[in-house]
Each structure stands twice: as structure tokens, then as C-alpha cells.
Amino acid sequence: MNSAKVVICGGGGFIGGHLAADLRAQGYKNLRSIDIKPFDQWYQLFGDVENLQLDLQRRQACEEALKEAQIVYNLAADMGGMGFIENNRALCMLSVLINTHLLMAARQAGVQRFFYASSACVYNADKQRDPNVTALKEQDAYPAMPEDGYGWEKLFSERMCRHFREDFGVQTRVARYHNVYGPHGTWDGGREKAPAAICRKVIQAKLSGKHEIEIWGDGNQTRSFMYIDDCLRGTKAILASDILEPINLGSNELVSVNQLVDIVEDIASIRLKRSYNLKAPKGVNGRNSDNTLIQKYLGWQPGTRLRAGLERTYQWIYDQMRSNAKSKG
């Protein structure tokens, strides 16, 4: 399959950039990467990949993107961390155009496999009110009450994948990502997620000498975080599998936001005075991944402990911030 025409939609983003790097390392020679961002804003850009700047909300752009495609990874979406999701619900909903037009183009092009990156934000909010959350099973998405905006779009697009498979024979596979993090991703600007945001805040405190940090919410909300390498391994396995229903792809190593700060402080060898912004977006109180099904079907489990992944992420963000400071100086 290394000769297959593989298209990465959202290839200029965090996960897409890592996926392109990974497939290149595996010997894939016929890669096409698509993103709406200008090339100088792509997180990873490779000269031996066919890179296209296209707006995949447009049907014509999707048809161009999928010409002669055999394998498609749809990682494209207008999204970010909780601050972005809660304040840009309409923009998040408009991502439904991307998946809809890509599926239409995939059917037209006779694509062999179509992967859709869904999210744990599809899960029923009633099951996420307690920080001591019971890990979410795949069936917990229904009866539906997902994250407003972003979660609804993801849940609808999951159904769209199902019906294109059932009605038109497009071989769709769907993974529900749980908080993917790592180097070469967003760490400032408002779209960053909690691990990157906390790394940035701790580094700022260390470099400035102002040993304080603001935490969104009370710090007791819980999450699990999956390192990018584990995400890629699981994504490729799901794409190649016979799993037809959406399946969890995430770590089950549950931590509170306060514990997340503890780990990053420890990596930085610093202790900070904490203030809590109770008016800031904080999402659900608790969310964790039940990995029973993916372990049963694929034997997959995350191989990177949170501390190890955060060390790599912290160092990359630290280097970026020092580099930016030098260029401004």
C-alpha cells in the first residue's frame, strides 16, 4: 500500500503534520497534503509531498483534493481548545461542510478507505458532570447531548460517514480522539489545548521571574491526554481495520488540571502561585477514555505516559519561546 495515493486533509495542522512525517518515514511516496492555511503557517511542511492550499468547505476544492485518491485522512476542522470551542460555535459547526463535501468527493473518486477524526466532545454531557468520571464507553454518545457546536458537528459527521458507507459503499472508519498533544502544535493564540497552554504559562513564569499562573476553572476538572505518537499508531490501525462503528482513541490515564500543572512545574523545577479564573471556559467536569473495545479489537493501548510526553512537549515549546524572544530582541 506504500504506493497508494494518500491524501491528508488538514495536513498543515498539528496531527496532520505529524501524520505526513510518519507516512514519509514508512516509505509512502505518493502523498498529498491539504490545508486552508498559507504554507508559512503549516506546522510541518515537506518538499517531497504534494502540498495544496485549499478551502475544503468548498465542494470544488474537495473534488480537486481527492483526485485519484485511494486513502483519505480527514483531520480538517476549524477548532481549538476549550476557549475557542466555547466562543466560536458557529465556526465549529461549519466544519460539517468539510466532511460532507469530502465524502461526496470520496464517493465520486472511488476512494478505498476514508478516515474521519471525531472527538470525545460527542459524548453525553450528563455523563461528564463528576470529576471522578466513569470512563466513557462508545455507547455513551447516545442519547445525544454533546458539546454544543463542536460536539454536535462531530456527532453529525459520524452519522454522515456511517450512511455514506451503508448507502454508497464508501469504506469509512471513525475514531473519537481524546485530547491529543505533543510538539509541533498550537501553544498560543487562543486555539491551544490544556497541555500546551499550561506548558506555555509555566515557561512564561520561569523566563519572566513572575512566579504566578492563572488556571481556568477550579483546577479539579479531569481529563486524559494522548501523546501524538500513540494517536498516529491508533489512527493507522483503525483505518486498516474492519471496525465499522466509531471507536475511542485516547489515554485512560486520568488527571486533574491541578495535577497537570503539578507535572509541568516539576519538569520546569519551579513552583508557582496559582490563581483560578472561574469565569473562563473549562468544559465538562470530567472526561476519560474507556479503551476496552480498542484493546479487544486491535490490542492497542497508549505507550507514552503523560509525564514523558509532557517533557517532550515542554522542551519543544520552551525552544519555540526562546527562539521567538531572540528574534524579537
Point out the residues that are catalytic: 150
Closest listed residue to residue 164, CA positions, set 174, 172, 154: 172
CA–CA separation, 253 and 96 (whole Å):
31
Q: Judge residue 148's burial from the number of C-beta atoms within 10 Å of its C-beta, 0-12 exposed, 13-18 middle, 19 or more buried.
A: middle
- Who contacts 65 (Cβ-Cβ below 8 Å, separation ≥6)? 7, 9, 32, 34, 52, 54, 56, 102, 105
Cα 111 to Cα 261: distance, rounded to the nearest angstrom: 44
Residues 6+ apart with CB under 8 A from 273: 211, 212, 213
Angle, alpha carbons 234-172-12 (nearest 5°): 60
Pairing relationship of beta strands 31-35 and 50-53 according to DSSP bridges: parallel
Q: Distance between CA 170 and CA 104 in Å, rounded? A: 9
Please check whether residue 115 is in contact with residue 235, taking contact to mean a CB–CB distance below 8 angstroms: yes
Name the 3-class secondary structure at 49: coil
Buried b (16+ CB within 10 A) or exposed e, 91-100: bbbebbbbbb
CB atoms within 10 A of CB 25: 8
